[in-house]
Amino acid sequence: MRELSTVAVARLFQANPLAISLLLIANRAWREIASSAMAYSLKAPGLYVGPGCRVIGGRHIFFGRDIFANRNLWLEAVTSYQSQHFSPAITIGDGVSFSDDVHISSIENIVIGGGVMMGSKIFISDHSHGAYKGDLQSRPEEPPSHRILGGGGPITIGDNVWIGDNSVILGPASIGRGAIVGANSVVRGIVPSNSIVAGSPARLIKVFNSRTGFWDRA
């Protein structure tokens, strides 16, 4: 459990009226209790989940230690959809932090390395509704919710990656260790380690120079 330190409590009272401070402390205590129960159930030591978080398909999701999810994390390993059946796997490393409204959905395989930080309103998926290449493609007159799931591929996010707000990661994708994905980016394909990408579609902006210690323009 992440207990509030004396310093954190003091700052809370300094920044807020008494009643609001007490309410925030009580809410945090309740979230710690709920998080402990979920951590035990999911075999995720040190897990903290804020309000509105949901984990679906937990038997196919593997957690490291000390994962933090602020609000409304939607984590889903999809095992079936209409007549389709899948064997998904989502693996999350130690010390990963999720800000508000992150949605991760898998029918195949998604791996998130240790120390990854995600901003708000991020979508990560190794599939889509419909097939748009190959022999059996979806037709426009078919409602999207009725189309088969597929058309993606596995996703790997390396250690210490930072993903900015409102970004979309679509499989197949491989984001190398230490990379930064700028806000509002759409990523598919390979992002080199120790690089910065941004845009829709994301393109290489900078690369870290280990000799000089600077981020050089690509």
Judge if 196 and 110 occupy the same domain: yes
More confident of the two residues 31 and 67: 67
Full domain range(s) for residue 86: 45-217
Given a cut of 50, whether residue 116 has pLDDT beyond it is yes
Judge if 24 and 59 occupy the same domain: no
Neighbour tally for 151: CB within 10 Å: 19
Q: What is the mean pLDDT of residues 2-21?
A: 75
Judge if 34 and 68 occupy the same domain: no
Q: Tell me the percentage of the chain whose pLDDT exceeds 90.
A: 75
CATH code for the domain in which residue 133 is found: 2.160.10.10
pTM given for the model:
0.86
Question: pLDDT digits over 163-206, tens only?
Answer: 999 999 999 999 999 999 999 999 999 999 999 999 999 999 99
Judge if 54 and 119 occupy the same domain: yes
Contact in structure between 171 and 187 (CB atoms under 8 Å):
no
Question: pLDDT digits over 34-45, tens only?
Answer: 788 888 888 899
Question: How much is the pLDDT for 2?
Answer: 54
Judge if 22 and 50 occupy the same domain: no
Judge if 203 and 124 occupy the same domain: yes
Question: How much is the pLDDT for 9?
Answer: 75
Judge if 74 and 165 occupy the same domain: yes
Question: pLDDT digits over 60-94, tens only?
Answer: 999 999 999 999 999 999 999 999 999 999 999 99
Backbone angles phi, psi at 11, to 5 degrees: -65, -35
User: Rg of the chain's alpha carbons, rounded to an integer?
Assistant: 20
5 pLDDT band (50/70/90 cuts)? low
Of 151, 183, 184, the C-alpha closest to 170 is 151
Question: How much is the pLDDT for 12?
Answer: 76
Judge if 87 and 176 occupy the same domain: yes
Rounded to the nearest integer, the mean pLDDT of the chain is 92
Judge if 68 and 19 occupy the same domain: no
Judge if 204 and 112 occupy the same domain: yes
Judge if 32 and 86 occupy the same domain: no
Of 112, 118, 108, 120, the C-alpha closest to 177 is 112
CB within 8 Å of 130: residues ≥ 6 apart: 137, 138, 142, 144, 147, 148, 150, 151
Judge if 24 and 61 occupy the same domain: no
For the chain, what is the HEC assignment? Answer: CCCCCHHHHHHHHHHCCHHHHHHHHHHHHHHHHHHHHHHHHHCCCCCEECCCCEEECHHHEEECCCCEECCCCEEEECCEECCEECCCEEEECCCCEECCCCEEEECCEEEECCCCEECCCCEEECCEECCCCCCCCCCCCCCHHHCCEECCCCEEECCCCEECCCCEEEEEEEECCCCEECCCCEEEEEECCCEEEECCCCEEEEEEECCCCEEEEC
Report the number of distinct structural domains present in the chain.
2
